[in-house]
Structure 1
Amino acid sequence: MQLVERTSIKKTDPRYAAIDAASFASKNLYNAANYLVRQSFIFQGKYLGYAEVFHLIKTHEAYQALPRKVSNDVLRLLDKNWKAFFQAIKVWEADPSKFHGRPKLPRYKEKTKGRNILI
């Protein structure tokens, strides 16, 4: 069992601007790391795991824009999304009738309006 707490903050709340900026920075990190993983997978056929992505992106401005703990959680989330994609591919190859089509690579977050989760 996983216990979570979800908090909704209205746009009129004074904390909204700081949280929005942090979630935008989280989106930027997610997209930058996803770019590295996608390029490696598409052109070299190699999946970059969490540790490899961390070492490639730890000096990137998107990684440093957030506290280290939050940045690492964003990278873990991306790793989890890619592993779910690979698992879906295995299930699809075994029985394609469970899907409407072939599972797609994890996508980028929307560039200007997109936000990402803060853990």
Structure 2
Amino acid sequence: MRTEQIFIRDNGVISRMCHVSKNLYNQVNYILRDQFFNREKLSSYGTLAKQFAVPSDIEENNNFQKLPAQTAQWTIKKVKESWNSFFKALKTYKKHPELFSGPPRPPKYKNKDGEFILIFTNQQCSIDNGILKFPKIMDLEVKTRLDDV
């Protein structure tokens, strides 16, 4: 596997998409926090992905649909990773509280005006003549040193 780190200057499209990713993160986190505080079993990744793949009647809640599908799925996976880390820390805390300054807390919401990462896979992007092409929804192309994805 090859990796190239590319720095992209301020870009309105990317910023908007990162904001949408943050909104999706907070939507998923809301459901999981609600389940946690109501002492319910937390939804699995598969259940959450299916739930958010169905468009809502409320347009502002359709953050999953505003992102490329795999990118939206990765955002949900990242929320689940945060919760898994929380439960792992909680388990360790119960055995060795001296390792912590206080009890672990559930994952918080991202800042209202903030952004969250966008993850793209090799299935979503292509390289043509040294140009990395992102999904069409992004309308973004970047020069790269790689030959192919």
Which range, TM-score by smaller chain?
Answer: 0.7 to 0.9
TM-score computed with the length of structure 1 as normaliser:
0.87
Structure with the bigger percentage of helix: 1
Q: Which residue of structure 1 aligns with residue 90 of structure 2?
A: 89
Amino acid at match of 1:116: F
Aligned residues: 113
TM-score computed with the length of structure 2 as normaliser:
0.70
% identical equivalent positions: 31
Matched, 1:9 2:8: yes
Deviation digits for residues 23-66 of structure 1 (CA, Å, limit 9, x no counterpart): 00100100001111111111143211211211222224011010
Structure with the bigger percentage of strand: 2
Where structure 1 has 5 or more consecutive residues not aligned to the other structure, the ranges are: none
Cα distance in 1 for partners of 2:3, 2:108 equals 25
For residues 1-119 of structure 1, the aligned pairs below 5 Å read 5-11=4-10, 16-60=11-55, 61-112=62-113, 114-119=114-119
Amino acid at match of 2:12: A
The Cα of 1:10 is off from its aligned counterpart by 2.4
Cα distance in 2 for partners of 1:109, 1:4 equals 28
Amino acid at match of 1:32: Q
Cα distance in 1 for partners of 2:110, 2:83 equals 14
> Does the residue aligned with 1:74 lie in a helix, a strand or coil?
helix
Bigger shift: residues 43-52 or 90-99: 43-52
Structure ID, larger Rg: 2
Amino acid at match of 1:74: T
Where structure 2 has 5 or more consecutive residues not aligned to the other structure, the ranges are: 56-61, 120-149
Deviation digits for residues 78-109 of structure 1 (CA, Å, limit 9, x no counterpart): 11111011000000000001111000001110
